[in-house]
Structure 1
Amino acid sequence: MAGRAQYSLSMVKAVEQGREVASPGFIVAVAGALGVDVERLQGVPYEGSLEDDGPLVGLMDLRTILVEGAYVKADESLGLVALAAESAAVEVALRGDRTRRALAMLPGLIRRLHGALRDARTGDECAQVYEMLCAAYIAAECACYRLGYSSLTALVLDRLDWAASHVEDPGYAVRSLMKRSRLLMSHGATDVALALVGRGFEILPGESEGERVLRGYGHLRGAIVAARGRRLELARSHIDEARAIARPMTCESNLYTTDFGPGNVEIHACAVELEAGDPGKAAREGAALHLPPGMAAPRIGHHWQDNARAWLMSGKPDRALTALDKARAAAPQQTRLHPSVRETVYGIAAAQRRQTGSLLGFASWLGAMV
């Protein structure tokens, strides 16, 4: 299995024995070696944790919409102003780590947008509706990914590609390419994922604010994909390019819901070191980061999840648990459902000679047995 996964035998043994945490890249490689889905190894979605918080409203309706494909049943539109307000509410929910709330709103919004498209009288109205459909499908992909239903994301991205083909703004097509590159990365297809990142750069030749933000966002995606493929120098090169684009910026940009900016660049720089470089450096520098105000809660939570894994890989399980507590405080919903958090908790339990009450309490909240 080590040979097929292209990891050392010592690494495979260390993960089996709980001495090393199973990184996302390792899990993808082992899934390929065993011929099983990544989701099967991770046990996602975590149905028990989801059920603890009540029925997952909107999931079945969203599945139905995706099966309908190009034949979505349209609902009566409430007007473009009302639809824009609904779209903004979905985005606010996602940024605030209220993913379940966003999912509950999305099916009705998508059907009403299709109703608005059916009733549109001018080309300008059509263009506005198509842009809102792009935003809705971007939000749907995000919700499915966070909740563990990654099997739905390919269908969502197909619908996003369709909507993006009807708008003049190439930014939505680039967002779709970058999101698909993340999906491909999770299946171990890093070469294809990097090719999609490169295609995104080709669509963005200009120097408008939106193009610069998307180009920077693309470099961050390229950095993580390259690191996952264990191409450290390429990953660091992408970080350098992103850092140069972000240097004149005073805050994180929410154009195209990218959260691109100086803070996010440094978060990704730590993630690159964690994935393919020096975990100790990732742990130290990640713990010292001053995250900018206004950054989306799930982005902050994800950083502390990575920082916890870096501390664990550096042999400091106590500091790893402290980082997980910070992730929980920033984005509890995302932290409870992210597979890497459970792997880190199992690693902390294996590293500690005696399990502490704080670890047992965290594991109980997570729904994990240690």
Structure 2
Amino acid sequence: MSASPHAGRAIAAERKLAGLSQRQLADRANYSLAMVKAVEQGREPASPAFLAAAARVLRVEPESLTGTPYRDLIEKDGPLEGLAELRAVLAEGIYARPADPPSLKELVAEIAAVDLLYRNDKGRNALARMPMLLRQLHGALHSAGPDERGKVFSLLCAAYVTTERLCRRFGFIHLAPTVLDRLEWAAVSADDPLYTAQAKIKRARVLMYFDSNDTGLRLVEDALDEIEGDTEAANAVRGYGHLCGAIVAARGFRPGTAAEHIGHARRLAPAMPGESDLYGTLFGPANVGIHSVAVALEAGNPDKAAREGSALVLPTKIAPPRAGHHWQDVSRAWLMIGKPDQALDALNRARRIAPQQTRLHPSVRETIYGIAAAQRRQTNSLAGFASWLGVQL
């Protein structure tokens, strides 16, 4: 069981070590004093945006406030195969030890298979296969002729896109910037120019963890300016950029900019054949709806997020982690408007849809602690969920 009840307690401890009052933390993080008090007391879940702002002010890593990665919980399901080797590959950088590669056709198929595992909430399996795939791609790069190098670099980009998502999935956020450095390196020589834009958008998403929202918005705008054409591929990355820009803007207290990005994405989405699998974007009408709810939540309108999020009908074929994250947001919104029972119902939906993602996401723990604080009497359902999550209420 987790020894630390909630991130608010870690924030309070770090605040006192820094010699700051609650008022000073609130002023420097651009939040109200009431919010700081509620988070520290466990009455309000610490949102990702609040955690990022608090970590910046307190000059600590965001992970030190959330306790991620949840190593004990991860190890309950067995060793996390592939992580140590992935660290080695990333540390080796451009000098990565190559492995004998199969054909380019087989490498394309392996990248698609690993990405599908991630998409279907089987991140452990994807992570176990990723280090060898990266070494094989480096092997292919060494043996590629002049006409093939651009293609291999594009395949490396695709692999790094999934690698970055895996690092975030398991809570190893500190590895993500290194992965993005490798993605940007490969994108320069790739024969697909969309990876250059995708790399900037993905860095903007990671920068949210560090409350660097102004830089993130600038990167999103730069990426959008680089995208040319009206193909499905271009619009998938363009739409993904607008959705990312919407969330970054909302977290940066720029609701007008967030609404503009959602509007652009909404206009692009109908042309997509469902939720696009291209470049790991999952861009389409359903994802626009999901991000609209997330923007409402981040912009301070939890009532709208709870009600519109609960009414949103998601397609059966949508990626489970995407749907699971949606119900996690809906849960937090219900809790924020004083409906802990509905919040727990939404978390149970997230658990059924994407158990691995739900079990490892920091916001789920914060919401569970908030539900426990809000419920007059602890229910068996809440206790059971907390036990599955590995926390002690």
TM-score in same-fold range (> 0.5):
yes
Matched, 1:364 2:380: no
CA distance in 2, matches of 1:85, 1:208: 23
Percent of residue pairs identical = 56
Which amino acid is the alignment partner of residue 176 of structure 2?
T
Aligned to 1:28: 52
Matched, 1:90 2:114: yes
Which amino acid is the alignment partner of residue 369 of structure 2?
Y
| 1:188-222 CA-partner distances (Å, limit 9, x unpaired) | 11000000000101111322221122111111000
Which amino acid is the alignment partner of residue 257 of structure 1?
G
Aligned to 1:76: 100
Aligned to 1:58: 82
CA distance in 2, matches of 1:242, 1:122: 38
Q: Is the 8 A contact 1:181 1:192 kept in 2?
A: yes
CA distance in 2, matches of 1:129, 1:293: 34
| 1:12-69 CA-partner distances (Å, limit 9, x unpaired) | 1111222221111111111122221110000000011101011111111011111111
Report the alpha carbon displacement of residue 122 of structure 1 after superposing the two structures with TM. 4.4
Q: Is the 8 A contact 1:232 1:277 kept in 2?
A: no
CA distance in 2, matches of 1:17, 1:68: 44
Which secondary structure does the structure 1 equivalent of 2:318 belong to? coil
CA distance in 1, matches of 2:321, 2:209: 19
Matched, 1:142 2:165: yes
Aligned to 1:152: 175
Q: Is the 8 A contact 1:270 1:282 kept in 2?
A: yes
The one of 198, 219, 222 aligned to 2:242: 219
Matched, 1:194 2:217: yes
| 1:323-343 CA-partner distances (Å, limit 9, x unpaired) | 001111111101000000000
Give 5+ residue unaligned stretches, structure 2: 1-24
Report the alpha carbon displacement of residue 170 of structure 1 after superposing the two structures with TM. 1.6
Equivalenced residue count is 369
Deviates more, 1:358-367 or 1:77-86: 77-86
Over the residues paired in the alignment, what is the CA RMSD in angstroms?
A: 1.1
CA distance in 1, matches of 2:111, 2:274: 23
Report the alpha carbon displacement of residue 121 of structure 1 after superposing the two structures with TM. 2.8
Aligned to 2:269: 246
CA distance in 2, matches of 1:286, 1:365: 25
Which amino acid is the alignment partner of residue 251 of structure 1?
G
> Judging changes above 3 Å, is the alpha-carbon distance between structure 1 residues 323 and 341 closer, same or farther for their aligned structure 2 residues?
same
Report the alpha carbon displacement of residue 135 of structure 1 after superposing the two structures with TM. 0.8
Aligned to 1:296: 319
Which secondary structure does the structure 1 equivalent of 2:189 belong to? coil
The one of 14, 19, 26 aligned to 1:2: 26
CA distance in 1, matches of 2:272, 2:172: 35
CA distance in 1, matches of 2:310, 2:258: 21
CA distance in 1, matches of 2:191, 2:290: 32
Matched, 1:19 2:43: yes
| 1:59-86 CA-partner distances (Å, limit 9, x unpaired) | 1101111111110100111221221221
Q: Is the 8 A contact 2:306 2:333 kept in 1?
A: yes
With normalisation by structure 2, the TM-score equals: 0.92
Q: Is the 8 A contact 1:66 1:155 kept in 2?
A: yes
| 1:235-270 CA-partner distances (Å, limit 9, x unpaired) | 111111110111344511111121101110010000
Matched, 1:255 2:281: no
CA distance in 2, matches of 1:127, 1:249: 27
CA distance in 2, matches of 1:352, 1:264: 32
Matched, 1:322 2:345: yes
With normalisation by structure 1, the TM-score equals: 0.98
